[in-house]
Amino acid sequence: MTSKKQADVPARPRGRVAPSIVVIMGVSGCGKTTIGTLLARRLDWEFADADWFHPPANIEKMHSGTPLTDEDRWPWLNAIAAWIDATRRAGGRGVVTCSALKRRYRRIIVGDRPDVRLVYLKGDMSLIARRIAARHEHFMPSQLLQSQFDALEEPGADENPTIVSIEPPPHEMVAQILATLELARAPSKREGLRRTRRAPKRRRHPRPRGAAARALRS
Protein backbone atom coordinates (compact mmCIF):
# COMPACT_ATOMS: atom_id res chain seq x y z
CA MET A 1 0.00 0.00 0.00
CA THR A 2 1.30 3.44 -0.88
CA SER A 3 2.31 5.50 2.11
CA LYS A 4 -0.39 7.88 3.27
CA LYS A 5 1.84 9.98 5.49
CA GLN A 6 1.10 13.68 5.31
CA ALA A 7 3.74 16.13 4.18
CA ASP A 8 5.68 17.94 6.89
CA VAL A 9 3.46 21.00 7.25
CA PRO A 10 3.22 22.71 10.65
CA ALA A 11 -0.11 21.84 12.25
CA ARG A 12 -2.08 24.07 14.58
CA PRO A 13 -4.82 23.07 17.03
CA ARG A 14 -8.28 22.89 15.49
CA GLY A 15 -10.55 25.79 16.18
CA ARG A 16 -11.40 28.97 14.37
CA VAL A 17 -8.49 28.73 11.96
CA ALA A 18 -8.99 30.61 8.71
CA PRO A 19 -9.30 28.06 5.89
CA SER A 20 -6.63 28.03 3.22
CA ILE A 21 -8.01 24.99 1.37
CA VAL A 22 -11.65 23.99 0.85
CA VAL A 23 -12.41 20.41 -0.22
CA ILE A 24 -15.78 20.01 -1.97
CA MET A 25 -17.01 16.41 -1.60
CA GLY A 26 -20.05 14.39 -2.63
CA VAL A 27 -21.31 11.70 -4.98
CA SER A 28 -21.09 11.99 -8.75
CA GLY A 29 -23.59 14.47 -10.15
CA CYS A 30 -24.05 16.53 -6.99
CA GLY A 31 -22.46 19.62 -8.56
CA LYS A 32 -18.93 19.56 -7.13
CA THR A 33 -17.30 21.14 -10.19
CA THR A 34 -19.98 23.81 -10.57
CA ILE A 35 -19.82 24.84 -6.91
CA GLY A 36 -16.04 24.48 -6.67
CA THR A 37 -15.30 26.66 -9.68
CA LEU A 38 -17.86 29.27 -8.61
CA LEU A 39 -16.48 29.36 -5.06
CA ALA A 40 -12.88 29.67 -6.30
CA ARG A 41 -13.93 32.49 -8.63
CA ARG A 42 -15.74 34.35 -5.84
CA LEU A 43 -12.70 34.06 -3.58
CA ASP A 44 -10.11 34.52 -6.34
CA TRP A 45 -8.48 31.27 -5.18
CA GLU A 46 -6.85 28.51 -7.20
CA PHE A 47 -9.12 25.67 -8.36
CA ALA A 48 -8.26 21.99 -8.89
CA ASP A 49 -10.38 19.01 -9.89
CA ALA A 50 -9.52 15.65 -8.35
CA ASP A 51 -9.84 13.98 -11.76
CA TRP A 52 -6.69 15.83 -12.85
CA PHE A 53 -4.64 13.80 -10.35
CA HIS A 54 -5.47 10.29 -11.55
CA PRO A 55 -2.45 8.34 -12.87
CA PRO A 56 -2.72 7.02 -16.46
CA ALA A 57 -3.45 3.47 -15.24
CA ASN A 58 -6.55 4.69 -13.39
CA ILE A 59 -7.77 6.62 -16.42
CA GLU A 60 -7.43 3.53 -18.59
CA LYS A 61 -9.40 1.49 -16.06
CA MET A 62 -12.19 4.04 -15.86
CA HIS A 63 -12.43 4.34 -19.63
CA SER A 64 -12.79 0.57 -19.88
CA GLY A 65 -15.51 0.56 -17.22
CA THR A 66 -13.39 -1.29 -14.66
CA PRO A 67 -14.06 -0.11 -11.07
CA LEU A 68 -11.10 1.30 -9.18
CA THR A 69 -9.88 -0.48 -6.06
CA ASP A 70 -8.49 1.18 -2.96
CA GLU A 71 -5.01 0.20 -4.14
CA ASP A 72 -5.71 2.23 -7.31
CA ARG A 73 -6.93 5.18 -5.26
CA TRP A 74 -4.02 5.61 -2.83
CA PRO A 75 -1.64 7.23 -5.39
CA TRP A 76 -4.49 9.45 -6.56
CA LEU A 77 -5.40 10.58 -3.04
CA ASN A 78 -1.75 11.12 -2.13
CA ALA A 79 -1.34 13.31 -5.23
CA ILE A 80 -4.30 15.45 -4.13
CA ALA A 81 -2.83 15.68 -0.62
CA ALA A 82 0.52 16.73 -2.10
CA TRP A 83 -1.16 19.53 -4.05
CA ILE A 84 -2.97 20.67 -0.90
CA ASP A 85 0.24 20.75 1.14
CA ALA A 86 2.25 22.45 -1.61
CA THR A 87 -0.42 25.15 -1.84
CA ARG A 88 -0.38 25.63 1.94
CA ARG A 89 3.41 25.79 2.13
CA ALA A 90 3.47 28.45 -0.59
CA GLY A 91 0.98 30.55 1.35
CA GLY A 92 -1.66 30.02 -1.32
CA ARG A 93 -5.38 29.42 -1.16
CA GLY A 94 -7.32 26.80 -3.10
CA VAL A 95 -10.53 24.89 -3.71
CA VAL A 96 -10.36 21.23 -4.75
CA THR A 97 -13.21 18.90 -5.65
CA CYS A 98 -13.07 15.23 -4.74
CA SER A 99 -15.77 12.59 -4.21
CA ALA A 100 -14.02 11.56 -0.94
CA LEU A 101 -16.83 9.12 -0.24
CA LYS A 102 -15.12 7.21 2.54
CA ARG A 103 -13.71 8.44 5.82
CA ARG A 104 -10.35 6.76 5.14
CA TYR A 105 -10.03 8.78 1.92
CA ARG A 106 -10.79 12.02 3.73
CA ARG A 107 -8.23 11.12 6.36
CA ILE A 108 -5.57 11.44 3.65
CA ILE A 109 -6.64 14.70 2.02
CA VAL A 110 -7.97 16.50 5.13
CA GLY A 111 -6.63 14.62 8.14
CA ASP A 112 -5.55 16.86 11.00
CA ARG A 113 -4.78 19.90 8.83
CA PRO A 114 -6.64 22.65 10.73
CA ASP A 115 -6.80 25.02 7.76
CA VAL A 116 -8.29 22.46 5.34
CA ARG A 117 -12.08 22.48 5.53
CA LEU A 118 -14.56 19.95 4.19
CA VAL A 119 -17.76 20.95 2.39
CA TYR A 120 -20.24 18.13 1.77
CA LEU A 121 -22.81 18.66 -1.00
CA LYS A 122 -25.80 16.63 0.14
CA GLY A 123 -28.76 15.53 -1.95
CA ASP A 124 -31.00 12.52 -2.44
CA MET A 125 -30.47 10.06 -5.25
CA SER A 126 -33.68 10.87 -7.12
CA LEU A 127 -32.76 14.57 -7.43
CA ILE A 128 -29.23 13.79 -8.57
CA ALA A 129 -30.50 11.21 -11.08
CA ARG A 130 -32.86 13.80 -12.60
CA ARG A 131 -30.07 16.34 -12.90
CA ILE A 132 -27.71 13.84 -14.51
CA ALA A 133 -30.44 12.81 -16.98
CA ALA A 134 -30.97 16.47 -17.92
CA ARG A 135 -27.32 16.95 -18.88
CA HIS A 136 -26.68 17.07 -22.60
CA GLU A 137 -25.10 13.85 -23.86
CA HIS A 138 -24.45 12.61 -20.34
CA PHE A 139 -25.60 9.24 -19.08
CA MET A 140 -24.92 7.46 -15.82
CA PRO A 141 -26.45 4.01 -15.29
CA SER A 142 -28.68 3.87 -12.23
CA GLN A 143 -26.53 1.02 -10.89
CA LEU A 144 -23.45 3.25 -10.93
CA LEU A 145 -25.22 6.07 -9.08
CA GLN A 146 -26.56 3.56 -6.57
CA SER A 147 -23.03 2.26 -6.01
CA GLN A 148 -21.94 5.80 -5.16
CA PHE A 149 -24.59 6.06 -2.45
CA ASP A 150 -23.77 2.56 -1.22
CA ALA A 151 -20.11 3.56 -0.80
CA LEU A 152 -20.87 6.96 0.75
CA GLU A 153 -19.85 7.44 4.38
CA GLU A 154 -21.27 10.83 5.30
CA PRO A 155 -18.81 12.96 7.27
CA GLY A 156 -19.29 12.91 11.02
CA ALA A 157 -19.29 15.85 13.41
CA ASP A 158 -15.69 15.09 14.34
CA GLU A 159 -14.70 15.94 10.74
CA ASN A 160 -16.12 19.45 11.19
CA PRO A 161 -17.93 19.45 7.82
CA THR A 162 -19.97 22.21 6.28
CA ILE A 163 -23.08 20.43 4.96
CA VAL A 164 -24.82 22.16 2.06
CA SER A 165 -28.06 21.04 0.44
CA ILE A 166 -27.88 20.83 -3.35
CA GLU A 167 -31.51 21.96 -3.75
CA PRO A 168 -30.91 25.76 -3.81
CA PRO A 169 -29.40 27.52 -6.85
CA PRO A 170 -25.58 27.42 -7.05
CA HIS A 171 -25.10 31.07 -6.06
CA GLU A 172 -27.08 30.48 -2.86
CA MET A 173 -25.05 27.38 -2.05
CA VAL A 174 -21.82 29.33 -2.50
CA ALA A 175 -23.16 32.16 -0.33
CA GLN A 176 -23.87 29.62 2.43
CA ILE A 177 -20.34 28.23 2.19
CA LEU A 178 -18.83 31.71 2.35
CA ALA A 179 -20.93 32.60 5.40
CA THR A 180 -20.36 29.34 7.26
CA LEU A 181 -16.59 29.36 6.73
CA GLU A 182 -16.45 33.13 7.35
CA LEU A 183 -14.73 33.76 4.04
CA ALA A 184 -14.88 37.18 2.42
CA ARG A 185 -15.37 36.97 -1.32
CA ALA A 186 -12.97 38.88 -3.55
CA PRO A 187 -14.42 42.11 -5.00
CA SER A 188 -15.54 41.93 -8.60
CA LYS A 189 -13.82 44.06 -11.23
CA ARG A 190 -16.83 46.39 -11.28
CA GLU A 191 -16.72 46.77 -7.48
CA GLY A 192 -12.98 47.39 -7.67
CA LEU A 193 -13.53 50.15 -10.21
CA ARG A 194 -16.20 51.73 -8.00
CA ARG A 195 -13.83 51.70 -5.04
CA THR A 196 -11.11 53.27 -7.17
CA ARG A 197 -13.46 56.03 -8.31
CA ARG A 198 -14.55 56.70 -4.73
CA ALA A 199 -11.00 56.92 -3.43
CA PRO A 200 -10.36 60.39 -1.98
CA LYS A 201 -8.33 62.68 -4.17
CA ARG A 202 -5.01 63.88 -2.85
CA ARG A 203 -5.31 67.42 -1.64
CA ARG A 204 -3.10 69.82 -3.51
CA HIS A 205 -1.73 72.69 -1.50
CA PRO A 206 -1.64 76.05 -3.31
CA ARG A 207 1.79 77.15 -4.46
CA PRO A 208 3.09 80.11 -2.48
CA ARG A 209 3.17 83.42 -4.34
CA GLY A 210 4.49 86.88 -3.84
CA ALA A 211 6.31 87.58 -0.58
CA ALA A 212 5.82 84.01 0.66
CA ALA A 213 7.50 82.60 -2.43
CA ARG A 214 10.41 84.99 -2.12
CA ALA A 215 10.83 84.02 1.54
CA LEU A 216 11.05 80.31 0.62
CA ARG A 217 13.67 81.00 -2.05
CA SER A 218 15.83 83.09 0.26
Q: For the chain, which residues make up each domain, given as ranges?
A: 21-188
Alpha helices in 21-137 (DSSP H): 32-43, 56-64, 70-89, 103-109, 125-134
73-98 pLDDT, tens digit per residue, is 999 999 999 999 999 999 999 999 99
147 CB neighbour count, 10 Å cutoff = 15
| Residue 90 burial class via C-beta count within 10 angstroms: exposed 0-12, middle 13-18, buried 19 and up | exposed
User: Residue 166's pLDDT is what?
Assistant: 97
Do the Cβ atoms of 49 and 97 come closer than 8 Å?
Answer: yes
Which of 3.40.50.2000, 3.40.50.300, 3.40.50.620, 3.40.630.30 would CATH assign to domain 21-188?
A: 3.40.50.300
Do the Cβ atoms of 4 and 111 come closer than 8 Å?
Answer: no
User: Residue 156's pLDDT is what?
Assistant: 96
136-153 pLDDT, tens digit per residue, is 545 556 667 888 899 999
9-35 pLDDT, tens digit per residue, is 444 344 578 999 999 999 989 999 999
Kindly indicate the confidence band of residue 210, based on its pLDDT and cuts at 50, 70 and 90: low
- Residue 218, pLDDT above cutoff 50: no
153-176 pLDDT, tens digit per residue, is 999 999 999 999 999 999 999 999
The 3-state DSSP class for residue 24 equals strand
Do the Cβ atoms of 87 and 93 come closer than 8 Å?
Answer: yes
Do the Cβ atoms of 6 and 113 come closer than 8 Å?
Answer: yes
One-letter amino acid of 217: R
**Mean pLDDT of the residues in the chain:** 82
Rounded to whole angstroms, how far apart are CA atoms 88 and 72?
26
